[in-house]
Structure 1
Amino acid sequence: MFFGEKEPKIWRNPWVPGQIGASPIHDWTALQTWLYIFKTRIPYNPLYEIGFFRIGCWVCPALKLAEIENIKKTHPSLWEKWEEELEKWRKTYGFPREWVTYGFWRWRRLSKSQKELAKALGLTCVISEARSVPERLEYTLIYEGETCSVNATESIIKAALNTRIDLERISNFLSILGEAKTSKELGIVNLMGKDFTCRIFQTGRFVIRVKDDKEIPRKIVEKVFKTIVKAIYCVGCGICVSKCPNGAISIINGKAVIDKALCTHCEKCLGECPVLL
């Protein structure tokens, strides 16, 4: 059976707003599909006849090595262009040539079998997957309780990320949630949200405050955290661009950038995002 055979026949595309898909043959096997094609003489992509199992994104990380070899033979100019990009990343992270030739680039985190292959090849540097930011961003709760200010009682949460942050980058993305201002001298970003305030330090520590509340809603903490994750791990796919009704998001140098003057903090761009999967 195909991977999507358990999916509904009518579905809403989570990545393209407003798009509804109809897939009446989701529960068909590959054999049934091809028998129907031959019976009805439906035109099909000739690439299937030269060894391609599926047609779509030719740089998909789900590609098998055999499919990659096929692309090299049938579309050498396309693959050379992609290989040039892989070489840039390889050199940036200090990986050996095998990182490209054995397809280790397809994994953000190597699977067990891939780690065994890398180990057998003596490629320990590939297994370590050294990065400038952690593979998975996490936060640790430091304090949760109440504090008294001059005019009111505030609920407060103090937490720490497992990495330092780029103030300008984080400030730009946090503007989705409210007015965000950066102080490079103090090494902080101050965010004034709709019903909360947040201060994030360059070290990765952050403090969230909510007035007149016995407990800070977890959704606020998660919203701040997920926005930081999006800012750090953005791959420039453009899904959030299509979500924004105000044209406040652009892709610049491969990353989403928020135009603070146009953003109305509607938060519609905080929905589906590949880095949050």
Structure 2
Amino acid sequence: MSREVKISPPGDPFPAMDGHLTRAKNAIDAQFGDEVGSKLLPSDKTIVMNKVSSLDAMYEIVVDGLIVGRLRFDIPKRGYTFLLSLEGARRIGAVSKQKWVTLHDGVLRYLKDGANLMVPGVAGCDSGIQVDDEVWLANPDGAVVASGISRMTGEEMAKEKKGFAVKIRAVDDPAQPLDNPKTSTWEDAVEANSNDLIAVEEEAISFVKRTAAKQDAPIVVGFSGGKDSLATYLVVEKAIESSPPIFFMDTGIELPETIEHIQDFAKSRDLPIIGQQAGDRFWESVDVFGPPARDFRWCCKVLKLGPAATSIADEMGGETLSFMGQRKLESFQRSIEPRVTENPWVPGQISANPIQNWNALEVWLYIFREKADFNPLYNEGYHRMGCYLCPSSPLAELESLRETHPEYHQKWESKMHEWAEKYGFPDEWIEMGFWRWKKLPKGQMELVNKLGLDIEPDRVSPGEGLELQVTKGIAPCTKSGFSLEGAFSTGIDLNRVSKVFPIFGKTRLSEEMGALRTKAGENSITLFTSGSVVVRGESETTVERLIEKMERAVKRAIFCQECGSCVPQCEHGALSIETGKISVDEEKCTNCLKCDNWPCPTYLA
């Protein structure tokens, strides 16, 4: 007999793996006593977790089809706390002698009416209770009736005559825990959900066949080493009745288990891996752009999308149909994206998402049903695969890195300390993960203020130090139209800029005079080593537009990180990467300036 389990939206449940359960049990044991975690989360049950909206990471934990609590990562202490539901409190109360509070007779009815527990209502308590501890509350007969969070220590509750003792989270009449004596396995779960798995698989296979029939392009499957790309590959393989190549960009900041898993998967099917290796490009680029951020993800462009564009141009004839493992429930942005898309950063790639409407539990049950080997990092407690320094990861995931791969965490932490010292950030900016934003959102700033930290809401990037200031504005000149004079905030490497300025027109560099002059039709740009610049043109509007394009071209020239995203987009073949930077072939360039509108990470800086 089935029963609906009401979990928090968006509702993307997944199996609790060994590493996830270990963290939960450790938190429960620390709060309620040794071995309590194993009793609440027994090994002979299928336990499900569900991500919940929180300041960092928080997961509902479901046992026997009932939510027994939430596992929350607390940023200040950089550790987990287990938050009790009423069912969880009843189960804890049956096996624990810690963090209990007993009520005087008659108090329960006030709590059920919405009141919190005040000191006069406390009949007794565990003297070891500390402020903000999770506690369970029992009536005079010892039956658990509520869960909550302490607002006083146990000693204060026993000593004081009045005060706010416990903030109530959940309360109800006395009842026994709803333990289900039946054991279960994930094989049982696969069998119980077989009809659903057949239905979602058939729909996904049909989508792959329809999409492939419409696109006359080589098929690949984007393979990150995670569960979603694995399930996608299995679906595509069945749909086209062959094993397509996998498409993978090695960013240089993947964990070794992920690389090994991808290589083993390819070897098991004798597949080519199409893609590029970024090597140390991340560590070279971070000095230019600063730490990647949720609102400043230059890393994806430099390490993934640019190399992907190059691979498609060089290895697949300039076009491909890429089946990807993106799902709507992963994020708001993905929830609104169409099922088939094109990315301006990756010309020639059509991306299609067969499992877009699956939830994570369906993905996992499908993998279990197919008996496919998956990335071992899931069993170590990781929730997502990919770059181990991704700013989209919660701090909880980055703390996992400290435990499982301390050498990688130390390398990143050292780089962050260099950055923090240079720009005056305290250690907490690193330790509490505030580096993951360029502009701290409201919730993070509230935490900063609550902790009394000296952290500004905005941080700069080194590239933002190169700013153009107009010194004289635009003024009419009877002989040469309009002119604008200005200056960059630092000196300019004219030799480097001279490799890009041919997009405007004929360019000449005089190293002796420390000047670069470009003739752009009837307009001209003169740039000096000092950073001074003069732009002349026929009209005010023309000069204003040209100065904007010129500033972008200077940044593109100086801050280029060799991502290559622009190279395959030039229909004239005028762009290339030379000595690690973008260069323009003056003979091939037609000065169409289409490249000025193409995505470029340097503009993000």
**TM-score between both structures, scaled by the size of structure 1:** 0.72
After superposition, residues 182-193 of structure 1 pair within 5 angstroms as 182=509, 188-193=515-520
- For the 8 Å contact 1:240–1:249, the answer to whether it is kept is no
After superposition, residues 1-277 of structure 1 pair within 5 angstroms as 1-3=329-331, 4-119=334-449, 123-124=453-454, 129=459, 134=464, 137=467, 143-144=473-474, 146-149=476-479, 154-158=480-484, 160=486, 163-168=489-494, 169-182=496-509, 188-194=515-521, 196-200=523-527, 206-211=533-538, 215-216=541-542, 219-231=545-557, 233-240=559-566, 243=569, 245-246=573-574, 248-250=576-578, 252=580, 256-258=581-583, 264=589, 269-270=595-596, 271-277=598-604
Question: How far 1:65 sits from its partner (Å)?
Answer: 0.9
Question: How far 1:68 sits from its partner (Å)?
Answer: 0.5
Distance 2:447 2:500 in 1: 39
Whichever residue aligns with residue 23 of structure 1, its letter is N
Whichever residue aligns with residue 535 of structure 2, its letter is I
Distance 1:114 1:195 in 2: 51
Question: How far 1:116 sits from its partner (Å)?
Answer: 4.5
Structure 1 residues 103-158: Cα deviation after superposition (integer angstroms, max 9, x where no partner): 33333344444444445555536657466664794655954464333xxxx44252
The range that moved more, 46-55 or 265-274, is 265-274
State the secondary structure of the residue aligned to 1:258.
strand
Distance 1:29 1:45 in 2: 18
Whichever residue aligns with residue 489 of structure 2, its letter is T
- For the 8 Å contact 1:143–1:159, the answer to whether it is kept is yes
Question: How far 1:32 sits from its partner (Å)?
Answer: 4.3
Distance 2:397 2:526 in 1: 48
Question: How far 1:260 sits from its partner (Å)?
Answer: 6.4
State the secondary structure of the residue aligned to 1:55.
coil
Distance 2:462 2:437 in 1: 16
State the secondary structure of the residue aligned to 1:216.
helix
Whichever residue aligns with residue 174 of structure 1, its letter is F
| Alpha carbons of structure 1 residues 142 and 101: separation in structure 2 relative to 1, 3 Å | same
| Alpha carbons of structure 1 residues 222 and 132: separation in structure 2 relative to 1, 3 Å | closer
Total equivalences in the alignment: 269
Structure 1 residues 239-272: Cα deviation after superposition (integer angstroms, max 9, x where no partner): 34555635632464xxx35376787466565411
- For the 8 Å contact 2:486–2:532, the answer to whether it is kept is yes
Question: How far 1:166 sits from its partner (Å)?
Answer: 2.1
- Give aligned-pair identity as a percent: 33
Distance 1:92 1:251 in 2: 28
| Alpha carbons of structure 1 residues 137 and 124: separation in structure 2 relative to 1, 3 Å | farther
Question: How far 1:10 sits from its partner (Å)?
Answer: 1.6
Whichever residue aligns with residue 576 of structure 2, its letter is A
Distance 2:450 2:588 in 1: 51
Question: How far 1:67 sits from its partner (Å)?
Answer: 0.9
- For the 8 Å contact 2:417–2:430, the answer to whether it is kept is yes
The range that moved more, 33-42 or 96-105, is 33-42
Whichever residue aligns with residue 258 of structure 1, its letter is S
Distance 2:349 2:371 in 1: 29
Gaps of 5+ in 1: none
Distance 1:21 1:128 in 2: 34
Larger-gyration structure (1/2): 2
Question: How far 1:23 sits from its partner (Å)?
Answer: 1.2
